[in-house]
Structure 1
Amino acid sequence: MSKPEFYSKYYPDTPLMKGWPFRIRSLGYNRYAPHAKFPSGVHPDDHLFSWESGRVLPTVTLVHVVRGKGSFRSDHSGILPMTRNSVLFVYPQTRHAYCPDKKTGWDDQWVELDPEYALPLMKREGVTPSEPIKTLDAAPRLSQLFQELFDLSRVETFGVEQELAAGAYRILAHILVLWQSSAPRAQQFAAVERMRQYLLTDLAHTPSVALAARQAGLSVSRLRFLFKLATGLSPKQFQLEARISRAERLLAQSLIPVGEIAEQTGFESVYHFSRQFKRMRGVSPLNYRGRLVSRYK
């Protein structure tokens, strides 16, 4: 039998991380050959488990099976299969266990996070304790992100734990995007994103929603609905907000006359620009600029 390969690091509380808004608690990978002993490796007592005993952790653990297959069980889900490219969310305060199939073994990689910020995002994207596993078509970027995290964890420099926490949340974000990639709203996102980019790059003109909908194979009402779902605004409101936001930056960062700013941001007149700016920001463009000037004198 081949000896398994293991890598793991654990990150307890330290004064340096006090008050940091999100935390990484552990990371690592396992390479179990067929018929290898499970579990193996060196882990803290509170992380040790067997298939029979299971374990309960106060954290969220993300597990990605890179090769092989196995099983997962928890109080909420029962026993579920895990195959190559399966992604598993292990919930906090839930007794659980997982292990590779003896005939195939498996390679897996994991990262463990504090639950405070992870759980609301998981709930938002439809991950549940009873259905915590999804098998992805392919995940080359996910493996790359894990490798970058492991490489960084080997660097012993000041502040590396903060960078590791950021890397762990990149992995969480990427997994949640992949989790939703087969949903209808994700498949139609390209049309919404094209529309959004059109609106941001050409503030002087509003592209035809009908044309964008036709190109995407959607009805106008459907595209408007998806756009508002993604941005919270209609296309017209979104572009107006983008125009006013750009005007704010120009007023704050330049000495360009208000009339020229109105023209650059696609308003038909200074009067129309000033009226919209005051309606949305509560002050006129001149007063907005004046307040900034007096504040920094």
Structure 2
Amino acid sequence: MSIHLELRSYRGGDRHRHDYSQILLPMRGAMRLDVEGHHSVVSSNCVAIIPRDHEHDFEPSRDCSMLILDVEASAFAGEAAPALLRDALPSLTRVEPWLWRMFRQLGAEVEAGACQASDAARLALAGLQLVEPSALPRPLSRAESRVLGLTRDASAGSVAEMARTAGLGQSRFHALFRVTTGQSPKQMQLGRLFDEAADKLATTALPVSEIAYELGYQNASSFNRQFKRRFGLTPSEFRAASRSGGPG
């Protein structure tokens, strides 16, 4: 096995490690991933990398389905590996919508038996060459550095407060935020909000309505709709899946 591609459905996890790197592309549902203390929620429009020899565990949603590539170092035979695989640390990277549609189509063809797994693996790796790593390819301006610093501060406050802290008008702040992060401030805040929600659902017995109120929602129904839009399942379904246990 230098490259092995497979579409897998998950019901539960167990802590383990591999002597190869693993690439996860979610086709349906979501997965709460723990790679040696690095916690993330793997969901639509992103790719997760688990480097070789990294112990990991996961909690999938009930309908979780992943396009998985198991990749040995020898797979590239002197060719350049995708930038995402050159770092020895686990990562979770957003994928451009047009490229994500390609991965979804590839997964659908594998599931339908319309594409050989070996051919699909090479196509997937070619697509991963187009995924930009998180690091910016040029030095940051001072304003961009201030903006990027605020993205690392979970207590940075509202968008207006972040703009004031950065010493920028809101329109300029929004523009620089997109340049430095590839997303809007609102998208970043929602991502953090729902990652926190997923963690509370998986690790506490708090009612869904109470979690919604704690995160600033005036009613649980709005929270439920947005949570399902992001993860593909309701908060209650996510909680049930995270506690279902069993082998993966």
Q: Same fold (TM over 0.5)?
A: no
State TM-score, norm by structure 1.
Answer: 0.37
State TM-score, norm by structure 2.
Answer: 0.44
Computing the radius of gyration from Cα coordinates, the structure with the larger value is 1
